């Protein structure tokens, strides 16, 4: 079994519960591979159907743009913790959420927020409800984007001290360490002899 194109034999990146839908939604864009499952109406419809969100017809371009805006705001929020960029991404999500209401259902454990609408708007409301619940229960802070700007794959940080940086130590972590090593060697080669 591979991890969504990442080549790992097991997936240490899976988020708990419903937050996995958010992680998987953001990872519909694989920056490194140059593939986007939300780029075309039919592939977006198939991706949504695979996750139990059936649409009567394929989404329109305006709906795809809305899905992509939500996806990228979530990615930016996860990639820029504690920075003005994170605050901007959260503000963008707040603006989107204003047009996608959820209802509170106390009997609907573990997720008390349910979309008030259907179709693409219902899916957006569902995702934002999951993000809201994750901010309340503390799991949101562990959903991170890979530090490699050419990757930015979302992963859930299960590490003991919550300090994981890359989607995979074997891929992006190794590449970063190799790049640092090469840069250090180049710097040493240019340094004047004493």
Identify the H or E element spanning 92.
helix 84-98
Q: Which pair of structure tokens corresponds to residue 60?
A: 């329109």
Using an 8 Å Cβ cutoff, are 77 and 90 in contact?
yes
User: Can you name the residues that pair with 113 across neighbouring β-strands?
Assistant: 104
Beta-strand pair 113-115/143-145? unpaired
User: Can you name the residues that pair with 143 across neighbouring β-strands?
Assistant: 156
Tell me the per-residue pLDDT of 102-147, one tens digit each, with 9 for 90 and over: 888 777 666 677 787 788 999 999 999 999 999 999 999 999 999 8
Beta-strand pair 102-104/29-30? unpaired
Tell me the per-residue pLDDT of 142-178, one tens digit each, with 9 for 90 and over: 999 998 888 999 999 988 887 777 786 566 855 545 5
Class of the CATH-defined domain 19-190: mainly alpha
The CA distance from 63 to 118, in Å, is 13
Collapsing DSSP to helix, strand or coil, 17 comes out as coil
Q: At a CB cut-off of 8 Å and minimum separation 6, what does 116 contact?
A: 100, 101, 102, 103, 122, 125
Q: What is the mean pLDDT of residues 85-104?
A: 93
């Amino acid at each position: 079994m591979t991890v969504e194109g990442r080549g790992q034999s097991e997936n240490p990146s899976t988020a708990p519960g419903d937050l996995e839908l958010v992680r998987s939604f953001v990872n519909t864009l694989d920056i490194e591979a140059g593939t986007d499952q939300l780029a075309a109406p039919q592939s977006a419809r198939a991706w949504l159907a695979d996750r139990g969100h059936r649409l009567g017809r394929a989404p329109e371009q305006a709906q795809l743009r809305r899905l992509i805006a939500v996806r990228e705001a979530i990615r930016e929020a996860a990639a820029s913790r504690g920075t003005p960029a994170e605050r901007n991404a959260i503000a963008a999500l707040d603006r989107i959420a204003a047009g996608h209401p959820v209802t509170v259902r106390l009997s609907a454990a573990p997720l008390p927020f349910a979309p008030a609408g259907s179709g693409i708007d219902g899916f957006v409301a569902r995702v934002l409800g999951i993000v809201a619940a994750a901010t309340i229960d503390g799991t949101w802070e562990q959903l991170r984007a890979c530090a490699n700007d050419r990757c930015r794959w979302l992963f859930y940080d299960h590490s003991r001290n919550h300090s994981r940086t890359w989607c995979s130590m074997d891929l992006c972590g190794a590449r970063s360490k190799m790049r640092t090593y090469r840069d250090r060697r180049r710097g040493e080669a240019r340094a004047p002899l004493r």
